[in-house]
Structure 1
Amino acid sequence: MKEKEMAALINYTISKLEPSTALPLTLKVTFFFLFAIVVILAICGNSIVIWIVLAHRRMRTPTNYFLVNLAYADVLSAIFNIPFNVYYMLNQTAWPFGDFMCSFVQAVSHISIAANVLTYVAISLDRYFAIIHPLRTKLTHKQTIMIIFGIWILSLSVSSPAIRSFRIIRSACEVLDMSIHKKYEWIFFSVTYVCPIVILTITYTRIAIELWGQTAIGEVTKRQRDSIQSKRKVVKMLIAVVLIFGLCWFPQQAYFILISIYPAIPDWRGTPYIYLISYFFAMSNSIYNPFLYCCMNNRFRNGFRNAFRFCPCVSASTEFCSQTHMSCRSFSEPTTLGVVYSSQRKTIHLANAHRATMAEISINLSRKH
């Protein structure tokens, strides 16, 4: 019920503004500047995340692919959703972009937010099975791509009723039948907010108990300790991503729940201002993930340093450049450890072979003498 409800009620909320209560010019400029920052940072930050993963073969792990999917959804929203809706809200005029863009903008907003939420659920389930059931077969790259494809198909299916309902009515981008649309809003709200929050809470609580609530029996090797610490870092970052998502969208969710219960809220003088603030917080969610990856993951941090290596104040990461043959440890612990242990086994095997060869030479020399 997020961006979808916004579009459904923008016209109604704005239409309640009398000329005397229109947004002041200074407020329009302020919101325009804030939303412009959101759009720029969302496009740039998420594009760098996509580059870091796709341009480095060993970074292409299942979890990283899901993060790329989040980045794609945020870029899509930043380009085709935020600019059009912000212009519409701030100028308080008729929808100027035509009937096609009315439906298209709403399609992008509905599908992108549904794809975001479903991707969060997919990540949590992937981490759940990887940590709680480590002996189960891990996701392959092909399976991950199929899951992502399914996420977008499901997002389109869930959003299709709302997409078909938006048309130009009296020069405004509105819903054809609001009574039917309100029923759909509650269904969409349950599918894209309530149910995911429940699933995320259960999975990450169980993961946290597994990683922090249990004490290992016997001596813990350095290898096991490093693996546990790596998994904890991943889970901390993913929990932070989900928490920020929930906090950013909470004001918007609360607004539409209240407006469904109390229809007179749009008549209140301060409602447009409250709505703009809640909408800004919701849209700003698209800029935080790249910062979280950079702050909480060494590999992504080095990737960002490499992306900004041309800046005078940023030094390129030699570690990121020289070790791109290894998987991102923080996102694929079993794969990374497998590479390390495989290299160690090869080294040991070569050392043993070398010692065996030297022993044979020594024996042969002894026989000759």
Structure 2
Amino acid sequence: MVMYVLSFVTGLVGNIMALWVLTRRRNRLSGASATRRLLVNLAVCDMMVVCVCMPVNLGLQVYNAWVFGEFLCRAVPFVQAVSVSASVLSLAAISLNRYYSVHSPLQARSFFTTSRMICMIAVVWIVSSALCLPLFFMNTTKTLSLLDGLHSVTVCVESWSKIKLRQGYNFLLFCALYGFPVVFNLVICFLTGWKLSRGGTSSISDPSQFAQTSSSSRLKTRKRIAKMVFALVLLFTFSWLPLYAVDIWIDSNIPSSPDRNDESRPFAQWLGLTNSSLNPLCYCFIGNLYRSAKRFRESYREKISSVMSLTNRSSMRNSASKIQQRNSGSSGRFSSETRSYTVFRLTRSKSVSATTVCESI
């Protein structure tokens, strides 16, 4: 319970802040607009996992039974599978975008336009939903009687007509949502890193100082984003590998177990879901997101301070006007006292001058 609560709080706060910064500023990742849109899509997938899958899986571990009804029994596995599928396909699109941005920057700008990025994100969700749709119809609730015969427990299981169908479908999901995308992402990240280690594009050899500075800045930005993408790919790989390995072992050794009851599966399930909580840390510490958040926070403070200064100035003006109005009634008395004091000073100065003249004589 403690592990799930920590993952839930970290994932909720981290993804909300990531979405806030990625959608509020124009220069979130130094002009990488295509990568930014895909990161927003990835953060949305992570929010779905954190808000839907984590609470239900925590309740399942607490009650040791399914208490959420028939609809959630169908919806939660479907949402989890779609979110994981959309995440790994988004990572593949991000890796491909970074590869073309390093190898062919001009072609990348002309190809990864806003309309094409929207179509790409739509294709990611359509393909993910189509691949995971059987889970919505195959999952159902069953009531099992305990050994004493007096009590029963409700479980959520996959109800397939044949065991071979379930094994074949799970193998298809493993290949389509983990095996091929992970290998593709690792290869693309390796090629991108190899190109960046050799100096990126050829524009760095420009003799002008301004062009060299600009090219060096672009190269640093590309290296930073490439490191972030590589960290996201590695994090996904090691987070979901135990769960896929456990499921393959269960399908191979305990094929008649519809609920996949195994002692190691709850921990593997938690580790896979925690991947959605750790992704914002990659945006923050490896990417440039924390700097954008810092700049946004500083601009917000400047706006607040300017508003406060205007308020203080208006209050000071009101106070000064009140004091002037209060002292206007006593202006006549003050002027007469001033004239009397002036006459007294003049008389005294004349007497002192006369005394001084007499003494000098």
TM-score with structure 1 setting the length: 0.69
How far off is 1:79 after superposition? 1.2
Contact 1:303–1:317 at 8 Å: present in 2 too? no
What is the match of residue 287 of structure 2?
Answer: 297
Question: Of the two, which has the highest radius of gyration?
Answer: 2
| CA apart distance, 1:122 | 0.7
Could you report, residue by residue, the CA deviation over 1:70-129 in whole angstroms, capped at 9, with x for unpaired residues?
Answer: 111111111111111221133212x11111111111221111111111101111111112
Q: 2:126 aligns with which of 147, 150, 153?
A: 153
**Structure 2, unaligned stretches of length 5 or more?**
144-153, 304-361
Q: Which residue number in structure 2 is paired with residue 337 of structure 1?
A: none
Amino acid at match of 2:298: S
Once the two structures are TM-superposed, the CA of residue 142 in structure 1 deviates from its matched residue by 2.1
1:194/1:264 Cα in 2 relative to 1: closer, same or farther (>3 Å)? Answer: closer
Structure 2 counterpart of 1:302, one-letter code? R
8 Å Cα contact 1:251/1:278 also seen in 2: yes
The change in CA–CA distance for 1:222 and 1:163 in structure 2 (over 3 A counts) is same
Larger CA deviation: 103-112 vs 252-261: 252-261
Question: 3-state SS of the aligned residue for 1:297?
Answer: coil
Aligned: 1:64 with 2:36: yes
Question: Aligned residue for 2:174?
Answer: 189
Q: Distance in 2 between matches of 1:271 and 1:245?
A: 23
CA 1:120–1:321: 2 relative to 1, 3 Å:
farther
Equivalent position SS for 2:106: coil
- Deviation string, structure 1 residues 39-88 (Cα, Å, up to 9, x no partner): 12212211111111222244481111111111111111111111112211
* Residues in 2 aligned to 1:261 and 1:162: alpha-carbon distance in whole angstroms: 20
Contact in 1 for aligned 2:15/2:46 (Cα 8 Å): yes
RMSD: 2.6
In structure 2, distance between residues paired with 1:131 and 1:40 = 36
Deviation of 1:210 after TM superposition, in Å, equals 0.9
C-alpha contact (below 8 Å) 1:259/1:265 kept by paired residues: no
2:198 alignment counterpart: 213
How big is each residue's C-alpha offset from its partner over 1:292-348, in whole Å with a ceiling of 9 and x where there is no partner? 2111233x10344468xxxxxxxx3359989xxxxxxxxxxxxxxxxxxxxxxxxxx
- Measured in 2, the distance between the counterparts of 1:259 and 1:320 equals 55
Indicate yes or no: 2:44 matched with 1:54: no
- What's 1:276 paired with? 266
How far has the Cα of 1:275 moved from its partner? 2.1
Task: Report the 3-state secondary structure (helix = DSSP H, G, I; strand = E; otherwise coil) of the residue aligned with 1:96.
Answer: coil
Within 5 A, what are the aligned runs for 1:1-369?
Answer: 32-59=1-28, 61-93=33-65, 95-136=66-107, 137-170=110-143, 171-177=154-160, 179=163, 180-213=165-198, 221-263=212-254, 271-272=262-263, 274-298=264-288, 300-305=289-294, 316-318=297-299
Query: Structure 1 CA distance, aligned partners of 2:205 and 2:115?
Result: 38
CA change 1:319–1:82 in 2 (3 A) is closer
Q: Distance in 2 between matches of 1:116 and 1:37?
A: 21
1:9-31: CA deviation from partner (whole Å, max 9, x where unpaired): xxxxxxxxxxxxxxxxxxxxxxx
Aligned to 2:332: none
1:82–1:283 Cα contact (<8 Å) kept = yes
Are the structure 2 counterparts of residues 108 and 260 from structure 1 closer, same or farther at C-alpha, using a change threshold of 3 Å? same
Displacement of 1:214 in angstroms is 5.5
Q: Which AA in structure 1 matches 2:114?
A: H
Whole-Å separation in 2 of the counterparts to 1:127 and 1:320: 34
Question: Cα gap change, 1:265/1:319 in structure 2, threshold over 3 Å: closer, same or farther?
Answer: farther
Counterpart CA distance in 2 for 1:42 and 1:218 is 43
User: Are 2:186 and 2:233, in contact at CA under 8 Å, matched by a contact in 1?
Assistant: no
CA pair 104-126 structure 1, distance change in 2 beyond 3 A: same
Cα shift at 1:264: 8.3
Query: Matches of 1:78 and 1:321 in 2, distance apart?
Result: 34
